[in-house]
Structure 1
């Protein structure tokens, strides 16, 4: 077996470096030929990974880090025959946790990878205007949460979760419901909403079960719409997302669809915690597009 390994050393407050090195040592001790595909940034790792995949230089890709690294690995392996191994070493690790994979445990993660058993999971795909595929496997955010991400990513300070907390405080006083056009399996919906999320999986953001009944293998996307609310009521509803209790609120609507179109002005969507695409965006679920070493 020849594995391509991509490590994000800064994941989980630098836990990624430690767990990635431990996993590399364990894999090589087991006689695995490991090709290091890590780079100085995600774009460099993606380029190195794509070259290795195109050249058939590896039999599988393994990523060590958080949901962002799973996102990178998905964009290397989805739609191919190459399986993806996940060594969860991030802060949230929502995708690994919801797939039942070990979290922050290099030895158990490597054991799963060496067993070689795979699980097919769905992935969601969009096509850029130039025809380039972009995939995600967890949750796409396209409402208040995406606005906060976009704001936070414009700041260099502070680092870590505090940056997002400050971005929330900055956005809340000025946030207004967003006019959307959604097209779900060809059916058009117009609404004003606080939050729109498209879940291939159930959770994002470190345990927020935004689409709690979404399944990785049902061939459907769960589209959550939190319709227009006063900001104080929004603040009362939003914390319930950690338990999935928000779905009982009358302003929450969840629709399942195979194809999803999202339109709104000035919104940049985030998927698996990564900057994904400005709206409008068209999505389709591809059943079994990704094979996970699980």
Structure 2
């Protein structure tokens, strides 16, 4: 009886060469060389994207065309090289599939990579992909009127909706995006326009109607290039972490701001945190954002989908 030879593994890098103000394009040859050297039994191929729509189409196509691993073979890998927008495309394509997701952080925020334990340095991330250490994680599933069409999207890091979302929106539309530095600058300038929003939430079936500066619903916990808005978030615990900041003065928010990067802001009496399996997010004047991109229109139903993604991570994850 003849044996079936294991199929050669395919590692596909989908890259936005303009990510990180061109950093991704400059680093691409070194990343490809590192993967070629460290994974001699795999076929490493590169897809350069023209724009976000092209990246989405090509990413979905890679996963759809990937053959299931045969006995004795390792699964194919989709590697997204760029920022959080590219990571979001990758996790949406790979969720629920047999394709593993790798991330080469080369954007201005890289919050998903930070939150799930992927090395922040691109060559270190490439080494982690080659090493093959995986982690099965949850994702947040948003259902409703999703930006760009459709009625559902997976989120890896955080859904922002209030003051934090306004900051994210302004940074995205700024003429020059310097990542965490731009985020910090806009955070301070937006304080002048601080107005609490009227939220209508349904948390695991319980209705909550109250004003708040923001409600952040996290899976991996980071926004804005390192702001640890949900500091206890565990992307593999089957739960969403919710951070709610009650109405505060502008000066209180200024004092809280440096603590956001350390996560110790949670001890302030205006902060409420809780966990849930499902949150219906609604309210007046909300601008829902997720993984650095516009998410859609409220109301949105957000649920934790346990273990739907296998991601390649570093040793310290």
Give the TM-score, by structure 1 length. 0.90
Unaligned stretches of 5+ residues in structure 2: 1-8, 68-74
Change (3 A) 1:63 1:199: same
Is structure 2 residue 14 aligned with structure 1 residue 2?
A: no
Matching of residues 174-189 of structure 1 within 5 Å: 174-189=193-208
SS in 1 for 2:229: coil
Q: Secondary structure at the match of 2:294?
A: strand
Cα displacement (A) at 1:151: 3.3
Q: 1: distance between equivalents of 2:231 and 2:190?
A: 26
Partner of 2:48: 38
Structure 2: how far apart are the matches of 1:160 and 1:220?
32
Q: Which residue of 2 aligns with 1:90?
A: 107
| Bigger Rg, structure 1 or 2 | 2
**Contact 1:142–1:195 (Cα < 8 Å) also in 2:** yes
Tell me the distance in 1 between the aligned counterparts of 2:187 and 2:115: 26
Aligned length: 292
Separation (CA, whole Å) in 1 of partners of 2:113 and 2:170: 27
- Which residue in the other structure is 1:110 paired with? 126
Moved more, 117-126 or 93-102: 93-102
Query: Cα deviation per residue 1:116-151 (whole Å; 9 max; x = unaligned)?
Result: 332101101122458643011111111111112223
**Which of 64, 83, 93 is the equivalent residue of 1:54?**
64
CA contact (8 A) 2:118 2:312 kept: no
Cα distance change, pair 199–159 in 1 and its aligned pair in 2 (3 A): closer
Q: Name the stretch that deviates more: 188-197 or 143-152.
A: 143-152
Query: Which residue number in structure 2 is paired with residue 160 of structure 1?
Result: 178
Secondary structure in 1 aligned to 2:48?
coil
1:75-117 deviations in Å (ceiling 9; x for gaps): 11112221101112233333323333222241x3223222333
> Aligned-pair distance for 1:170?
5.1
Relative to 1, partners in 2 of residues 1:189 and 1:113: Cα closer, same or farther, differing over 3 Å?
same
Query: Is the contact made by 1:195 and 1:226 (CA closer than 8 Å) also made in structure 2?
Result: yes
Alignment of 1:69-148 (within 5 A): 69-106=86-123, 108-129=124-145, 132-148=151-167
Instruction: Go from structure 1 to structure 2 and tell me whether the alpha carbon gap of 1:250 and 1:16 turns closer, same or farther (over 3 Å shift).
Output: same
Gaps of 5+ in 1: none
Pairwise CA distance, 1:154:
4.0
RMSD over aligned CA atoms reads: 2.2
Instruction: Tell me how far apart the structure 1 counterparts of residues 224 and 171 of structure 2 sit (CA, whole Å).
Output: 14
**SS of the counterpart of 1:61?**
strand
Asked if 1:26 is matched to 2:49, the reply is no
Q: Deviations over 1:257-290 (max 9, x none)?
A: 0101110233221112122222211110111011
